[in-house]
Structure 1
Amino acid sequence: MEFQNYLETIKNLIFDYSPKIATALIILFGGLWFTSFITKTAKKIMIKRNVEITLTNFLGNIIFWTLRIMLFITVISKLGVETSSFVAILGAAGLAVGLSLQGSLSNFAGGILIILFKPFRVSDTIEVQGEQGKVAEILIFSTKIITSNNQVVYIPNGILSNGKIKNFSQLSTRRVDIEIITNYTSDVTDIKSKIGKIINQHPLVLKDPKADVYINNFTETSIHFSARVWTESAHHMQVKSDILEQSKSLVSI
């Protein structure tokens, strides 16, 4: 008799909860498909509108997890679980995690600011915190930089968003400053003419703005000439090296 009561109880529970379980499963699987579809559609729209790939992925992840959390709350509510207390617990847990991860949240906020205001982009050459290199990847918590000697440096985004950043690639042109030192036996006019000729003959030197060659300083034993020429940012080091090399063969140092 007792066994029959158990069977009857189980039977009643199945009849009572079957519609709820079926509805929850339909919502679950439909919601999983819907969240993936919305996320992919949002990313495609942003890519078509030429939104930066870092921002596209970041916003896509936010949309995806926000929809998944909403889906989870909806499913458990359909199963009869009280969601108000669950949301309160989730909020308290989020606050506790936030307080314990203040540094990470600062880097997270810095990553958002970098993505939104774009002080630099991927492939830009920057100098920050004493490190200079090419930006390989902008992550949510840090930025990956490859230095000229092929070292990988990760800079926290909190420091980047609040510190001084020197971007060598943001503008298309860059000035090359060159110093040439000669002794007092040299003919000043002749040296200036020769340096000017080397500059004017270089194919990567821009004609506008016009290059300048002038005497910068006198010391007890030498005369210091300075040359300022303009070139495309990508050719900065090559132009500087070429002019210095050719000037050495023409000027007695």
Structure 2
Amino acid sequence: MFSNILQTNTTQPADSTVNIVENIGETIGELADMPVKDILALLAENALHIGLKVLAAIVIYSVGAWLIQRVKKLLRKIMTRRNVEASLSSFILSFASITMTGLLLLVTIQTLGVDTSSIVALIAGSGLAIGMALSGTLQNFAGGMMILFFKPFKVGDYIETQGYEGTVHSIQITTTVIKTTDNKTIVLPNGGLSGSIINNYSTSEKRRCDWDISIEYGSDIEMAKNVLLEIVGRHKKVLQEPDKPFVALKSLADSAIIITCRVWVKREDYWDTFYAVNEEIYKELPKRGIGFPYPQMDVHIKNN
């Protein structure tokens, strides 16, 4: 009777408001006919029962909260030992904390005698609706997880992808930010980035500089090759390993002979060497009698 009000039924669905009011009215009527001594005994019995449930819930929550903190510390140590990216580490800790705390709250509420099936159904339905509304964001989120886990690049790397190139400034959960050489900030969605071709120039300590030089037909090929070797040989930043400077006739184009020149340099010396050699080639070859051709077109006029 009285316990029907003080306790929550965990197996039956809640009555309508009208039924609840009727039950309360009936209970009050029955209490009015009972002796005061019986009413006090009934209150004491139900108070003890509810008090034990509350005490059990407090103990479960306290122990659970302590265990969650221990698990978080253990996860933090593991990720620190394995040098996990800071952004990925922060996300994993937050996700684990929210998940474990949510489960702990459900267990605590269930200990009090409350039916949690409706709460779980509400959370599941909300999650499905949110997932459908944020499908693009979830794709970027999944891409971010793949980038942080497989590490095709890291902060500080110089990459080229999707028509952009620059230094990786930050890797976030849904986007990656790169800084171009002219200080532009490019924000790339991780969903497309994780599935695209990425050229990471920072994976090796050395890079190869390539030049394709067009010279006039009739020029002395050996002279041109020797001049190019002299130019790159004067640069202290040009390396002799893994290969020595290489010069060869690459192709015979419509209006020019194409000579290719390849040298290896340290990654940080790439652009300085590339631009400096470009300038010297332009200045030195004409001094040796080797000219650069202009686009030409032969026009034949026929008189009828």
TM-score class, shorter-chain normalisation, is: 0.7 to 0.9
Alpha-carbon contact 1:135-1:143 (below 8 Å) kept: yes
Shift of residue 196, structure 1, vs aligned partner? 0.7
In structure 2, how many angstroms separate the alpha carbons of the residues matched to 1:140 and 1:10? 55
Per-residue CA deviations over 1:155-194 (Å, capped at 9, x if unaligned) read 1111112222222222332221113344457543233212
Alpha-carbon contact 1:204-1:231 (below 8 Å) kept: yes
Which residue of the partner structure matches residue 228 of structure 1? 262
Per-residue CA deviations over 1:59-95 (Å, capped at 9, x if unaligned) read 3233222211111212212222212332222222212
Which residue of the partner structure matches residue 215 of structure 1? 249
The answer to whether residue 269 in structure 2 is matched with residue 241 in structure 1 is no
Provide the secondary structure at the position in 2 that maps to 1:149.
coil
In structure 1, the gaps of 5 or more residues are none
Matched ranges for 1:148-163 at <5 A:
148-163=181-196
Which residue of the partner structure matches residue 222 of structure 2? 189
Higher Rg: 2
Shift of residue 19, structure 1, vs aligned partner? 3.4
TM-score (normalised: structure 1): 0.84
Would the alpha carbon gap of residues 14 and 151 (structure 1) be closer, same or farther in structure 2, given more than 3 Å must change? Answer: farther
Shift of residue 42, structure 1, vs aligned partner? 0.9
Alpha-carbon contact 1:175-1:230 (below 8 Å) kept: yes
Alpha-carbon contact 1:182-1:251 (below 8 Å) kept: no
Would the alpha carbon gap of residues 182 and 10 (structure 1) be closer, same or farther in structure 2, given more than 3 Å must change? Answer: farther
Which residue of the partner structure matches residue 115 of structure 2? 82
TM-score (normalised: structure 2): 0.71
Shift of residue 227, structure 1, vs aligned partner? 0.8
Per-residue CA deviations over 1:21-43 (Å, capped at 9, x if unaligned) read 34333443443343233213211
In structure 2, the gaps of 5 or more residues are 1-30, 287-291, 293-304
Shift of residue 13, structure 1, vs aligned partner? 6.3
Would the alpha carbon gap of residues 10 and 94 (structure 1) be closer, same or farther in structure 2, given more than 3 Å must change? Answer: farther
The answer to whether residue 156 in structure 2 is matched with residue 123 in structure 1 is yes
User: Of 168, 171, 177, which aligns to 1:144?
Assistant: 177
Decide which moves more: 188-197 or 217-226.
Answer: 217-226
In structure 2, how many angstroms separate the alpha carbons of the residues matched to 1:27 and 1:150? 54
Aligned residues, how many?
251
User: Of 81, 87, 104, which aligns to 1:71?
Assistant: 104
Provide the secondary structure at the position in 2 that maps to 1:203.
coil
Would the alpha carbon gap of residues 66 and 250 (structure 1) be closer, same or farther in structure 2, given more than 3 Å must change? Answer: same
The answer to whether residue 284 in structure 2 is matched with residue 250 in structure 1 is yes
In structure 2, how many angstroms separate the alpha carbons of the residues matched to 1:223 and 1:178? 13
Alpha-carbon contact 1:145-1:152 (below 8 Å) kept: yes
Would the alpha carbon gap of residues 190 and 138 (structure 1) be closer, same or farther in structure 2, given more than 3 Å must change? Answer: same
